[in-house]
Amino acid sequence: MPTIFEHNEKRKDSSGLGKSSVNIVAPERYDGRGDIEILRIRHLPTFLKGKAAYFYKTHVARSPDKWNLGRFSRELFAYCFPDNYKELVRRRFDRLTQGRQSLSDFARKIETLAE
Q: Average pLDDT for residues 5-22, to the nearest whole number? A: 55
Q: How confident is the model at residue 27 (pLDDT cuts 50, 70, 90)?
A: low
Q: Which of 5-9, 64-68, 78-82, 86-90 has the lowest mean pLDDT?
A: 5-9
Q: Average pLDDT for residues 39-68, to the nearest whole number? A: 89
d(CA 12, CA 1): 18
pLDDT number for residue 37: 72
Backbone angles phi, psi at 94, to 5 degrees: -65, -30
d(CA 47, CA 51): 12
Alpha carbon of 45 to those of 20, 23, 36, 57, 72: distances in Å? Answer: 21, 14, 16, 8, 12
pLDDT number for residue 7: 47
pTM of the model: 0.54
- Nearest Cα neighbor of 79 from 55, 44, 103, 100 is 55
